[in-house]
Structure 1
Amino acid sequence: MNPLQTQGISLPRLGLGTFRMQGDDCRAAVESALDLGYRHIDTAAMYGNEDAVGAAIAGSTLARKDIHVTTKVWHDQLAPAAIKASFETSLAKLQLDYVDLLMVHWPAKDMDMSAMFDTLLKLKEQKRIRAIGVSNFNLSLLRSAIEDIGAPIACNQIEYHVLLDQTPVRSYLASKGIPVVAYCPLAQGKLAEHPQLAAIAVKHGATPAQVALKWLLDQDGVAAIPKAQRRASQQANLQALQLQLDEADRRIIASLPKDRRLVNPAFAPAWD
């Protein structure tokens, strides 16, 4: 499956999400994923595991240029000085000279978007980051960033799975040539026993999770970062790439309720 090309970076379509992984368990998971062939690792300052991710990358025999690393700045650190401080801490923990993608993890109601993106652009100009991304931005925020400010956004990372419709955001981003990175692509494990997905899975000799993941990755301009700590789960997610869903499968998935948002903290923006 070819990587997505965006803002000068090549983004592998299937990545490893590391939210809620800690310490040696996180390090082992990243080591395992890299060994299996994953080349896209997603972390964040808020996850508290950048040191473990960094240790795994440092111990790898892979060339740095062959691993895509994303990290993120938390929503209370979006003033220029705070972005710089957060980023320097992240870089030190990751033991890296640069990250491939630095994201605004969540928008903040009081953020100065012009100053924020100006700070991120300076880091890009200094070659400390290769691209700028956002996460959890709604349509109005995306329009402000892209059309009013002209921010060179490489992607928007959002909750996206078979039970949550993201057509408005996806369509807008597609019109601008900007991909979506789907987090919680397996709905936090809630799809494992899903009856309609299970029926499709039986037909293909697969699992419901593999069906859900391939449905996402079959869409143009969509990458996914399922969290997978166990090697068997990482392998299963890779094997989902071999699935061939048909029109009947897609019709069944299209008929599922699409209003199940699992990540909705008090500081979230108003969703479209």
Structure 2
Amino acid sequence: MDAPSLEFPPVGLGTMGIDDPAVIETALELGYRHLDTAQIYENESVVGEGLARALESNAVDRDDVTVATKVWADSLAPEDVRRTTRESRERLGLETVDLIYVHRPIDTYDPERTLPAFDDLVADGFTRHVGVSNFTVDELERAREILDEPIAAHQVEYHPLFQPEGLLEHAREHGYPLVGYAPLSGGRVRDVEAVAEVAAKHDTTPEAVALAWLASKEGLVTIPKASSRAHLEANLEAVELELESADIGRIDGLEREEELFPE
């Protein structure tokens, strides 16, 4: 099943490590409309509080914000999927979470048992959409065979130093967005010669170039983490940078081996 009705802005907010609701509130005030968290980040309540503050101040409408969380690998048995999702909803302060991912297909993940439990989350109003994260193409195909719901998004590590093969093509073929995390290579984009040279050419930062490079790819959105107002603003502005095809080609051609978050 394809063609889910879920669209993301080019840049959302990755929240791993954010422990202050004010960061979330500021992000929403600045125009962020995609908030990404996870059970294992242990900050769903922080994200929920920041969202609640922004809603209370009328900085944003709830219908305009996509809130995503992920069920961790130790909770993918059907009964744990339901229990932990209920707990996530309570921490986020939401009756319905917009998107819930299978965080990693490891540990207690069993496609035949786990994925129907995610279908049930939609049927019972716990979430609007089902996503997967850190899957291979083969795992994606298996999930598509089992799920009644379409895969609404696939979240993977994606940055200049790690460009996984085949995943963006699969996303495009089946009409769902690829959500790239760790887009700044854990801060290492500043030390990548090709990225730094493109940045100098455009009189901007390597971080802005990395985000603009990601934004140039059809079907790919990204979720950099930022805590300061200046970095939050800079990340939003980065996607306005228009790279030349030669710039994109240089970064496309980098060695793709530095995975920050292997299984």
TM-score (norm 2): 0.93
Q: Give the Cα separation in 1 of the matches to 2:112 and 2:34.
A: 29
Deviation at 1:111, TM superposition (A): 2.5
SS at match of 1:191: helix
1:13 aligned to 10, 30, 33, which one?
Answer: 10
4+ residue runs of structure 1 moved beyond 3 angstroms? 147-151
Deviates more, 1:124-133 or 1:107-116: 107-116
Q: C-alpha offsets along residues 20-53 of structure 1, whole Å, 9 cap, x if unaligned?
A: 222xx3x121111111100000001110101111
Deviation at 1:194, TM superposition (A): 2.5
Whether 2:32 is the aligned partner of 1:32: answer no
1:52 aligned to 46, 68, 79, which one?
Answer: 46
Q: C-alpha offsets along residues 140-198 of structure 1, whole Å, 9 cap, x if unaligned?
A: 21111113555511111000011112231221222212221000011111112332212
Deviation at 1:260, TM superposition (A): 1.2
SS at match of 1:59: helix
Deviates more, 1:139-148 or 1:35-44: 139-148
Deviation at 1:76, TM superposition (A): 0.7
Q: Residue in 2 aligned with 1:121?
A: 119
Q: Give the Cα separation in 1 of the matches to 2:9 and 2:240.
A: 16
Q: C-alpha offsets along residues 49-107 of structure 1, whole Å, 9 cap, x if unaligned?
A: 01111011111122211111000100010011100111011000101111110001111
Instruction: Confirm or deny: 8 A CA contact 2:104 2:134 kept in the other structure.
Output: yes
SS at match of 1:106: coil
Q: Residue in 2 aligned with 1:83?
A: 81
Instruction: Confirm or deny: 8 A CA contact 1:6 1:179 kept in the other structure.
Output: no
Q: Give the Cα separation in 2 of the matches to 1:233 and 1:66.
A: 22
Q: Give the Cα separation in 2 of the matches to 1:110 and 1:84.
A: 14
Q: Matched residues, percent identical?
A: 38
Q: Residue in 1 aligned with 2:216?
A: 218
SS at match of 2:130: strand
Q: Residue in 2 aligned with 1:160?
A: 158
Q: Give the Cα separation in 2 of the matches to 1:6 and 1:133.
A: 13
Change (3 A) 1:222 1:169: same
Deviation at 1:115, TM superposition (A): 2.2
Q: Give the Cα separation in 2 of the matches to 1:89 and 1:126.
A: 15
Instruction: Confirm or deny: 8 A CA contact 1:156 1:179 kept in the other structure.
Output: yes
Q: Give the Cα separation in 1 of the matches to 2:12 and 2:172.
A: 20
Q: Give the Cα separation in 1 of the matches to 2:94 and 2:147.
A: 29
Q: Give the Cα separation in 2 of the matches to 1:93 and 1:160.
A: 28
Q: Give the Cα separation in 1 of the matches to 2:212 and 2:239.
A: 6
Q: Give the Cα separation in 2 of the matches to 1:210 and 1:218.
A: 12
Gaps of 5+ in 1: none
Q: Residue in 2 aligned with 1:228?
A: 226
Whether 2:35 is the aligned partner of 1:41: answer yes
Q: Residue in 2 aligned with 1:181?
A: 179
Q: Residue in 2 aligned with 1:72?
A: 70
Change (3 A) 1:149 1:67: closer
Deviation at 1:109, TM superposition (A): 4.8
Instruction: Confirm or deny: 8 A CA contact 2:116 2:146 kept in the other structure.
Output: no
Deviation at 1:6, TM superposition (A): 5.5
Matched AA of 2:38:
A
SS at match of 1:8: coil
Q: Give the Cα separation in 2 of the matches to 1:71 and 1:116.
A: 16
Q: Residue in 2 aligned with 1:256?
A: 254
SS at match of 2:238: helix
Deviation at 1:118, TM superposition (A): 1.4
